[in-house]
Amino acid sequence: MVRTPPSNRRPITPAPPAAKSGSVEAHLLNLENQLAQLRAQVRQAQQLSSLGTAAAMIAHEVNNLLTPIVSYAQYALQDDDPTLKDKALQVTVKNAKMLVAMSERILEIGAAKNCEPAMVSAHDIVVEAAASQCREVEKDGITLRNQIDPTVKVFADPLQMQQVFFNLLLNARQAMKNNHSGSITISATQQTGSVVISLRDTGPGIDPKMLSQVFEPLQTSKPIGNRGESGKARCAGLGLSLCRDLVQENGGSISVTSELNQGTTFTIQLPCQKA
């Protein structure tokens, strides 16, 4: 039997399909875009959560401004006294301007925006943050001391830092308002390349067990009650997480120390010059 000599040819193995690198890159880019959108949505939810906590306080101040407008207008319509009508118009214009300014501050606080750092006064940031709450802390029996020298400047986005101090001031006054007493002191020290700002309150303090978690989303030091209060308390925990993210976006850091029945101090370090 004649044997056929073995062939020198190797069997042809089909080549693996070419990787669709373009398709993979497009998919990854799409995922990154979706992640960026989700982060923006979470950021706005955090900002609106802070406004939700302040809603009752803001509504009270809006009512205080509208009540004299309505009262003077009613008297002016019932009486032909030109002096009274002039007074009604003056009160209306004055209070309406205050309402417009209040609305603009609230819209700024609730807006999601990209970080746009600039050299800004740390003192002025705190002033604007306090004004954005639309109700002076003194009305709750709390003393606010802004001891930052107006010449001290930080390199940060002014609106984002306003949001940070808005949240910190709101948390402090919420902690102390039931006692209708206490104080909030804000000071700053200049260091090489940075400014360290401390916000100290004389509130009830934070439980040591929770202190390491206060900057995590959905964590809160507020008591959780019944009848729907649990949801409100849990949402309130978004505020400090947002503060940490905003401070870090601006090249800074934030930390907290607290002692029960003594008070809480938040320390923020921000650059004082462009990196």
Instruction: Encode the chain in three state secondary structure.
Output: CCCCCCCCCCCCCCCCCCCCHHHHHHHHHHHHHHHHHHHHHHHHHHHHHHHHHHHHHHHHHHHHHHHHHHHHHHHHHHCCCHHHHHHHHHHHHHHHHHHHHHHHHHHHHHCCCCCCCEEEEHHHHHHHHHHCCCCCHHHHCCEEEECCCCCCEEEECHHHHHHHHHHHHHHHHHHHCCCCCCEEEEEEEEECCEEEEEEEECCCCCCCCCHHHCCCCCCCCCCCCCCCHHHHHHHHCHHHHHHHHHHHHCCCEEEEEEECCCEEEEEEEEECCCC
So what's the pLDDT on residue 142?
A: 95
What number of CA atoms fall less than 13 Å from residue 84's CA on the CB side?
A: 12
Lowest-pLDDT range of 2-11, 68-77, 109-118, 152-161:
2-11
Average pLDDT, the chain: 80
So what's the pLDDT on residue 235?
A: 37
Of the pLDDT bands very low, low, confident and very high (cuts 50, 70, 90), residue 21 is: low
Of the pLDDT bands very low, low, confident and very high (cuts 50, 70, 90), residue 247 is: very high
Of the pLDDT bands very low, low, confident and very high (cuts 50, 70, 90), residue 5 is: low
So what's the pLDDT on residue 66?
A: 85
Of the pLDDT bands very low, low, confident and very high (cuts 50, 70, 90), residue 182 is: very high
**pLDDT value at 236 more than 50:** no
Of the pLDDT bands very low, low, confident and very high (cuts 50, 70, 90), residue 120 is: very high
- In this predicted model, what pLDDT tens digit does every residue of 51-75 receive, in sequence order? 666 676 677 678 777 888 888 788 7
**pLDDT value at 122 more than 80:** yes
Of the pLDDT bands very low, low, confident and very high (cuts 50, 70, 90), residue 17 is: low
51, 170 in Cβ contact below 8 A? Answer: no
So what's the pLDDT on residue 179?
A: 85
- In this predicted model, what pLDDT tens digit does every residue of 152-164 receive, in sequence order? 999 999 988 998 9
Q: Model-level pTM?
A: 0.67
Of the pLDDT bands very low, low, confident and very high (cuts 50, 70, 90), residue 85 is: confident
So what's the pLDDT on residue 107?
A: 73
- In this predicted model, what pLDDT tens digit does every residue of 203-231 receive, in sequence order? 999 988 888 889 886 555 554 444 444 33
